[in-house]
Amino acid sequence: MILNWRVAMRGPVTKLNFFKALPVIALAMMLGACDSDSPTEPDQTPNPSAPQGGGSATGFAITVTASPRTIEVESGIPVSVTIVARRTDNNQFVPQGSTAVLTTTSGTLTNAAGSAIGNTITIVFGPNGTTTATLDGPTQTAIIRAQIEQSSGQTTVQVSEIPEIVPLTIAGLVPNFGPPAGNTEVRIEGTGFSEPARVTLGGITVPILSLSSSSIRILTPQVELPAGQNQAVGLVLEVNFGAEDAAVDTLNNAFTYTRNQTPLIPKIISVTPSSGPNEGGTPVTVFGEAFGAEVQVFFGIGSRIEAEVLDISPSRILVRSPPATGQNAANLNQTVGIEVFDIRSGFTATRDNSFQYGGGDMFISTIAPSEGTYFGGDLVTIFGNGFEGPVAVGFGGRGQQVVSVSGTEIVARSVGPVEITNCSRPSGPFSVVNIETNETFNSALTFTYRPVEPRIGSISVSSTTANVDTGAIEGPTSLTMTGSGFDRQSLPPQVTFGGERAGGVTITSLDSNPFHEGFGVGDVMVMSIPSFRVPFPEEDCETGGGAAGMRFTDQRVDIVVTARDTGCSDTAATSFTYIPSNGSCRANPVAPVVPVPQFSFSVAGMTVSVTDLTTGSPTSIQWDFGDGAIDNGTPGETRMHTYAASGTFTVTLSATNAAGTASIEKDVTIP
């Protein structure tokens, strides 16, 4: 889908028509996210050369989808893979019968015909440039990649571990006491609850009103209880009742039957904040005592308006103030009381004059949005109460431009650009200052500046050939990268191939579109492929003649794109391959050995005849006849020497080659 996006955005987008096209572009990008994953994830399987995909087109838009996208390990569920390919020069489907190579980093692929099985297979396209395959048995997240010539597309199948079985545990009962007449609604709290379930209380099976994984609602049965006595009973819970994986847990003295119950009587101590806008929506905390697990909170004692309860504890209730407009206009600009009603006990706590609608001290309740681009220019709305212009507004660690002010709302425009280092996200709290009165409100809410974060979508070329001696690129020499966040043409990002394994990259073209504040513009960048820093890695091999040797192997490298002004980067791990220009097996050189000298001799009168029999490929020999005569000879020669007198002489033969010199001696007797 990303490759199709690149084709769709081939023409320049002007500043005027871009904003008209933005909704369509955003929709296209969201749909693309559903069809294919970004190819920035690692692919540990080298891509073999792909067969021709139809005609002589130099590029292909390849979409790979998988269903389901997520499976559990060892689930045995096959994944259906669909591959669609078009030529980028005319947007036509590849011809029927065209082929591609399909690889996976985990599991086994089978093509549509069932004729090819493995982690690398050949697939054949049918009508409409479409074919299918099946993935079986992945043990880890699998990257499935289809490649035609130098173009590729891929998707990811997530493989998750089998969910951990949550143990059955009873934490307690709420309430844990009730009258002997029974019919008290009780909530069992814990973990690992599942249907079908059976609950007994004091040995009596009780009806189950509702069941979730952590809560079961029951009704207590009636018991006989003498006056003035209490009776504690145990609870037994069986889940997956009647099945092989049934589980049981018990809680002794879980519930007490008593005639002397002490119900919860709530009490309100304080309310903060004490005011908010008529529009409602202000987070309000009610502090007090004896708040039960199920309560209702109302604003306005005379015209009771129920508030949304966000959180409850025995001493605190967090609610969102209801509006004082429309049907609730009786509370408009009024100071109202707050009521807490305990649903179980029926008791009510009230506190008059607790909350002022449309008045009171200045405060900030909420803000939107809470982040924006580091360029600035984002409109931020501050909701609250007591605002009166002129005001000074700060957030994100700096003063901001105020656009408009009303009693409950301030609109400000973020200033920028802000300095970003190492892809940091500068942030800071909100503050509002009334310039005339110097009244100030500092909020814990913060605003964060987002940096440009480049995102690599796809690359048009996934490999090139480099000279094994010099590392010079023999072809292809450039590639096109699609993605987003590559930023402005005047400040192109830094691109590296394989860190220290490759040289510098020259960006030859980059979309001139200004970077959009919504981070949604697709970018296209063309760059040179840097030379490879030899030597290539090598592996053992065997020549055709059976001799041991070595050969150069492919080197897969990361492509890293880094925004120069923010330090943010993205990595397409092992996405590019340098192929050595010579991949043949080279026989290992045979190391020379020192020659082994040897000779024979015969004597005739005063003359000796010597013959060189040295082995080990000598390059030169020397004769020492023991009477002072020394001759440099030729390997393998026979030489004559005549002595001047009789006697026994030691003849020495020395043989030499590149590995060294060795000698042998023999005694010759002249009669």
Could you please state the CATH topology (level 3) that the domain comprising 180-257 is classified under.
Immunoglobulin-like (2.60.40)
Give the pLDDT of residue 265: 77
Domain range 363-450, its CATH number among 1.20.140.10, 2.60.40.10, 2.30.40.10, 3.90.1150.10: 2.60.40.10
Nearest to 140 by CA among 38, 44, 65: 44
29: pLDDT strictly greater than 50: no
Alpha carbon 188 to chain centroid distance? 40
Domain range 267-357, its CATH number among 2.30.110.10, 2.60.40.10, 3.40.50.2300, 3.30.360.10: 2.60.40.10
Classify residue 325 by burial, with Cβ atoms within 10 Å: 0-12, 13-18, 19+.
Answer: middle
Give the pLDDT of residue 263: 62
Give the pLDDT of residue 48: 38
Within 10 A of 455 (CB to CB), how many other CB atoms are there? 18
Region 74-103: mean pLDDT is 90
Could you please state the CATH topology (level 3) that the domain comprising 455-587 is classified under.
Immunoglobulin-like (2.60.40)
**Number of continuous H segments (helices) and E segments (strands) in the chain:** 2, 55
Cβ neighbours for 382, distance < 8 A, ≥ 6 positions apart: 364, 367, 393, 409, 410, 411, 412, 430, 432
474-488 pLDDT per residue, tens: 989 999 998 888 866
Q: What pTM value is reported for the model?
A: 0.41
Region 85-112: mean pLDDT is 91
45: pLDDT strictly greater than 50: no
Region 63-83: mean pLDDT is 90
17 confidence band (pLDDT: 50, 70, 90): very low
The H or E element containing residue 16 is: helix 15-35
Out of 144-153, 319-328, 647-656, give the one with best mean pLDDT.
647-656
135 vs 118: CA distance, rounded Å: 10
Could you please state the CATH topology (level 3) that the domain comprising 599-670 is classified under.
Immunoglobulin-like (2.60.40)
Among 62-76, 99-113, 200-214, which is the least confidently predicted range? 62-76
591-604 pLDDT per residue, tens: 788 999 999 999 99
Within 10 A of 286 (CB to CB), how many other CB atoms are there? 28
95 confidence band (pLDDT: 50, 70, 90): very high
**Residues 450 and 374: beta-carbon distance below 8 Å:** yes
User: Is there a shared CATH topology between the 36-160 domain and the 455-587 domain?
Assistant: yes
117: pLDDT strictly greater than 50: yes
Region 629-642: mean pLDDT is 93
560: pLDDT strictly greater than 70: yes
Give the pLDDT of residue 253: 85
390 vs 597: CA distance, rounded Å: 108
What percent of the chain lies above the pLDDT cut of 70?
86
Tell me the residue length of the chain: 671
Classify residue 584 by burial, with Cβ atoms within 10 Å: 0-12, 13-18, 19+.
Answer: exposed
Write the DSSP symbol of residue 175.
S
Tell me which residue has tokens 């049934």. Answer: 246
46 confidence band (pLDDT: 50, 70, 90): very low
Pairing type for strands 177-178 and 247-257 reads parallel
Nearest to 581 by CA among 485, 670, 470: 470
Give the pLDDT of residue 626: 92
Region 185-198: mean pLDDT is 91
**Torsion angle of the four alpha carbons 380, 381, 384, 387, in this order, in degrees rounded to the nearest 10:** 90
Classify residue 632 by burial, with Cβ atoms within 10 Å: 0-12, 13-18, 19+.
Answer: exposed
6 confidence band (pLDDT: 50, 70, 90): very low
Strand partners, 266: none
Region 29-43: mean pLDDT is 38
**Residues 288 and 209: beta-carbon distance below 8 Å:** no
Domain ranges of the chain: 36-160, 180-257, 267-357, 363-450, 455-587, 599-670
- List the strands of the sheet with 548-552, edge to edge: 538-542, 548-552, 586-587
Give the pLDDT of residue 39: 39
625: pLDDT strictly greater than 70: yes
200: pLDDT strictly greater than 80: yes
30 confidence band (pLDDT: 50, 70, 90): very low
654: pLDDT strictly greater than 60: yes
**CATH homologous superfamily for 36-160?**
Immunoglobulins (2.60.40.10)
461: pLDDT strictly greater than 50: yes
Give the pLDDT of residue 647: 93
Give the pLDDT of residue 279: 79
519: pLDDT strictly greater than 60: no
149 confidence band (pLDDT: 50, 70, 90): confident
Mean pLDDT of the chain: 84
378-434 pLDDT per residue, tens: 999 998 877 878 999 999 999 999 999 987 789 999 998 899 999 999 999 999 999
234 confidence band (pLDDT: 50, 70, 90): very high
Give the pLDDT of residue 490: 65
164 confidence band (pLDDT: 50, 70, 90): low
Written as one string, the DSSP assignment of 400-453 is EEEEEE-SSEEEEE---PPP--TT---EEEEEEEETTT--EEEEEEEEEEEPP-
523 confidence band (pLDDT: 50, 70, 90): confident
104: pLDDT strictly greater than 90: yes
329 vs 302: CA distance, rounded Å: 12
Give the pLDDT of residue 278: 81
Classify residue 536 by burial, with Cβ atoms within 10 Å: 0-12, 13-18, 19+.
Answer: buried
Give the pLDDT of residue 328: 87
Q: State phi, psi for 18 to the nearest 5 degrees.
A: -65, -45
Coil, helix or strand at residue 215: strand
Give the pLDDT of residue 74: 80
Give the pLDDT of residue 360: 57
Give the pLDDT of residue 152: 87
513: pLDDT strictly greater than 80: no
Nearest to 365 by CA among 321, 406, 424, 335: 321
